[in-house]
Amino acid sequence: MEDIQIHIPAKNNSGLSRVEKLRALFDRKLAGLLILLLLSLAFGALIAYQGVVAGAGILGLMFGPPALYCIVAYPEFGITVLLLMAYLLFFIGRLGVNFPLGTVMDGIQGMLILGFFIHQKTRPDWKVFKGPISVMILIWIGFNLIQVANPSAESRLAWVYTIRAVAIVMLTYFVFMYQIRTVSFLRFLLKLWLGLALFAALYAYKQEYIGFSAAEDAWLNSEGVADLLFIAGRWRKFSIFSDPVAFSYNMVVSSIICIALLTFVKKIWQKIVLVLMLVLFFSSMLFSGTRGAYVLIPAAMVLFVILRINRQVLIFSAVGALFFVFLIFVPTTNSNIVRFQTAFKPNDDISFQARKNNQKRIQPYILTHPIGGGLGATGAWGQRFAPNSYLANFPPDSGYVRVAVELGWVGLFLFCLLMFLILKEGINNYFLIKNPELKTYCLAMLLVVFAYNVGNYPQEALVQFPSNIYFYLAAAIINITRMIDEREQTKR
């Protein structure tokens, strides 16, 4: 009779068998597993009954706190998120995200400002508040803050909604000045800028030759939009931006950056890439039908030639000028080119004449109101909070006119002084910087600021994302390049 053998599981060094270890592990983790199971069921039920909104909310709860921490603790990450969101804000909104994305932008900027003060504890550097640009920005913010007590203002709520677009956005200048400290990060930011612009240009081509998405069609068919965007039997393209003006101006400044970088890069493939991007940016800009944008590149090139006058630049400029002259006078039936040509014949432009008449009509009001009619008195906020006021239905159609109407001739003087100081610092820094790469970046940003200032006359160039954020990034880089160059010269 054979002996019956019973297998006894081997025990490890702790004296427990494998089965016993698994049972002990399960007992220890049972509570956690049950919680995970309940959470999974709850999340599944929420998504099933509430749809995408609940899913987005759950993702926000999961990833929001870590993202906020990273924005504060890792400023380079935070700046990257800010620039990405500023560029893609309206594109994300048209995907069906039913959430106040403007508030998200305020939150990101607020976290960056908080991070700025926290980092001052370990790396104190209050010099960012010195210098003519910094002082003038603080004066400008202060002037906007005291507008809450403007006796001519029809609504205080309009001020509340408008001040954040002024104060918070302008404070990012100091964040950029403090946190952007290396050439490598500058290179990354310019690559990010051009990469986002390339996506926008390609998306405009998609709108032109393939068509609009369902969400875009719904927006175009909403009240009042067709009157502005449907001209001569064609839709003006806006790509991923809020409107054709924002799209065209961003294509202009991206083109200008490419032109500036062409004077520095040495490798053939880099020159080819920049030229191809320049062609894409310029051609897609024509789809916008924004005549005010068409004159910005020639205007910026005048300053470019003055600052970098040499044989190579003169040849390039002459070729560019001939190309523009050809586009202006060539007979064509292409509606985009026809609209481009009318930009250089303002006396034949009905809309230009209407703007001139509006400006003439409002001049007596500006002269008799030295501090204006109050922040947010015109445009959407004026119509919302003081619809029966004199300024509510006045179309400013110009960044400078809006400033003059809302903040008076005193505000217009301060604003123009701020713009003058930025341009002055840019020109001075360009001639003082020794490093050729940093010198090129300074030149590119100087031309961007100049183009935005020229474009701020026929349109409101600095009020909408991403232009408002990127303008102060450009203004900051003008000084950052000088600061980095001085550190390099000191080390030598």
pLDDT digits (tens, 9 = 90+) for 349-376: 677 777 788 888 899 999 999 999 999 8
Give how far the C-alpha of residue 246 lies from the chain's centroid of Cα atoms, to the nearest Å.
Answer: 9
d(CA 448, CA 450) in angstroms, rounded, equals: 5
CA angle 142, 169, 244 (to 5 degrees): 125
d(CA 49, CA 357) in angstroms, rounded, equals: 55
pLDDT digits (tens, 9 = 90+) for 39-61: 666 666 666 665 555 666 666 66
Look at residue 46 and tell me if it is in a domain: no
For residues 430-453, b (16+ Cβ closer than 10 Å) or e, as one string?
A: beebeeebbbbbbbbbbbbbbbbb
Look at residue 28 and tell me if it is in a domain: no
User: How many domains, the chain?
Assistant: 1
| Encoded tokens for 365 | 């009001």
The pLDDT, as a whole number, for residue 110 is 92
The pLDDT, as a whole number, for residue 282 is 92
Cross-strand partners of 234: 231
Look at residue 23 and tell me if it is in a domain: no
The pLDDT, as a whole number, for residue 95 is 81
Look at residue 35 and tell me if it is in a domain: no
Residues 6+ apart with CB under 8 A from 206: none
Look at residue 161 and tell me if it is in a domain: yes
For 51, 217, 365, the CA distances from 443, given in Å and listed in that order, are 49, 40, 39
The pLDDT, as a whole number, for residue 418 is 97
d(CA 66, CA 81) in angstroms, rounded, equals: 13
Look at residue 14 and tell me if it is in a domain: no
The pLDDT, as a whole number, for residue 222 is 80
Look at residue 3 and tell me if it is in a domain: no
Residues 6+ apart with CB under 8 A from 169: 109, 468, 469, 472
Domain containing 167: what range?
A: 61-491
The pLDDT, as a whole number, for residue 182 is 95
Those residues of the chain that have pLDDT short of 50 are 1, 6, 8
Look at residue 36 and tell me if it is in a domain: no
CA angle 350, 335, 279 (to 5 degrees): 115
pLDDT digits (tens, 9 = 90+) for 60-88: 666 678 888 899 999 999 999 999 999 99
- Residue 425 in contact with residue 478, Cβ under 8 Å? yes
